[in-house]
Amino acid sequence: MVEVPDGREGMSRTGKPGRDDLCPCGSERRYRYCCQKVEDARKVAQAAYNRALKKLLEFTFSPALGSRRAEALFQLEGGSGTVEIEEWEQPTALAFLAHGFRGRDGNTVLDHFMKKHRHALSRDETDALMDLGASWPSLFEGEKVHPEEGIDLHDVVLDERFFVHDVASTRQVKRWDLLFGWVFRRQNEIQMVGASYLVPRDLAAPVLDSIFAAMKEHRAHDPKVSDRTALAAVAWAANVALRKAYREAPATPKMMNTAGEEVLFCEARYEIDDPRSVRKALAEVKHLMPDGGDFVWLDSKKVRKGNQPNLLRGVIRIGEHEIVLETNSRERLQEGKKLLEGALGSLILRMPTESLQHLRVALAEAEERSVSSKDPPPPGTAAVIEKLLQKHYEDWIDHPLPVFNGKTPREMARSVDGRKTVEALLKDMENRALWSHGEVSADFDKIRRELKIPVRPRSRR
């Protein structure tokens, strides 16, 4: 097993301090002379990356590369040539097209772009694309979420562990979530490329099997290829496996919105650092109506008569560090993104992370969460819930379970293989509890220690 350094020793942010405040990292220096330099450098690097990525994607879809795109899509479609790429996989498919797929010449689109246009790039843009060229995809497990900072990830395929700096993901990912995506090392830290999707834990096995089988076949043709390069070349395998698993699940009738578009629960999250200027800019946009500190997006094409309001197309929520666009169809999501990006320009610090959820998945999650309220529990109630949950799971340790052929979790945990089985079940239970009850949950690490299952130390903060 490989431990990858996370490059963030001593950093512990507790909100954004003032320039002349003491730096929260504990150095006893002023923030502007200490970690603000890191934050400023990160913003400059992110802006250069955004510019470079835009140029790369324009090149990727140039007419001259039509045949190369067709070859890559053929792999993404599972070799059938007739399968439509689903909405949830489009960001990872785009990453595969731009810097994962290698044509018959052994090069990626990124390789060709650098050969042809490197002279026209700034040094920061060149550095960003060189880093992107070393990115790799994998199936990652979130071992610890550090709010407003990043995530401790376990690369399940390569068995590597590292910290990923990605503020937006901390608002979407729960502990033990599985996600397939691309990461790369940038400025001595590992970051998400922005292309990822969640993999249901009960579907992880076929996805992993597909990845390993594709890597084995790839190595048969290129025995000396590195693990990360092989993963980039077979990134299509995860998409094909998960798409197949979804399509074999029982079908749910399509629900349509008022515009005749399929209902999908869609979000686009943008990173910002100046919410006041964002609100000022959006206040000037026609068809955006202030709603407290947020905005509602009204239909510009259907003006209602009398006192009837215009149809609602989406909601824009503004926080201290991000904007979230929420819509109920992919068509509205794309239109809303154009609206926001055109209005905000450089106020947006990072390309958006998107999530699209089918009605079937949303209904399943809603049913699972039905026992809990969306509102936070009243003071004192959270402690009571935590105590009840803790008692339930501690009793569970010595309860015979059919899944263990009548053995208790404690009995199963006495063998090496049994501990692995119990740990897998504990991850599933903790993940479901976090999605159902939020942060009000049991202390599963205490249960692990009781069962003598090793608890991995949390990363340095």
CA-closest candidate to residue 91, choices 295, 280, 276, 267 = 267
Tell me the pLDDT tens digit for each residue of 91-148: 899 999 999 999 989 899 999 999 999 999 999 999 999 999 999 999 999 999 998 8
Decide which of 362 and 33 is more confident: 33
Tell me the pLDDT tens digit for each residue of 222-268: 899 999 999 999 999 999 999 888 888 765 556 666 667 777 788 88
Give the Cα-Cα-Cα angle 278, 280, 281 (nearest 5 degrees). Answer: 65
Residue 171 class from Cβ within 10 Å (0-12 exposed, 13-18 middle, 19+ buried)? Answer: middle
Alpha carbons 135 and 110: distance in angstroms, whole number: 12
CA-closest candidate to residue 426, choices 146, 173, 176, 159 = 176
Residue ranges of the chain that CATH labels 3.30.70: 264-368
Helix pair angle (123-133, 109-117), 10° resolution: 160
pLDDT at 282: 95
Pick the CATH number of 264-368 from 3.30.70, 3.90.1580, 1.20.1630, 3.30.2420: 3.30.70
Grouping H, G, I as helix, E, B as strand and the rest as coil, residue 169 is helix
Tell me the pLDDT tens digit for each residue of 283-338: 999 889 898 889 999 876 544 444 444 578 889 999 988 999 998 888 899 999 99
8 Å CB contact between 266 and 356: yes
Confidence category of residue 362, pLDDT binned at 50, 70, 90: low
Q: How far is CA 199 from the centre of its chain?
A: 10
Please, where are the H alpha helices in 61-108?
66-76, 90-95
Alpha carbons 96 and 94: distance in angstroms, whole number: 5
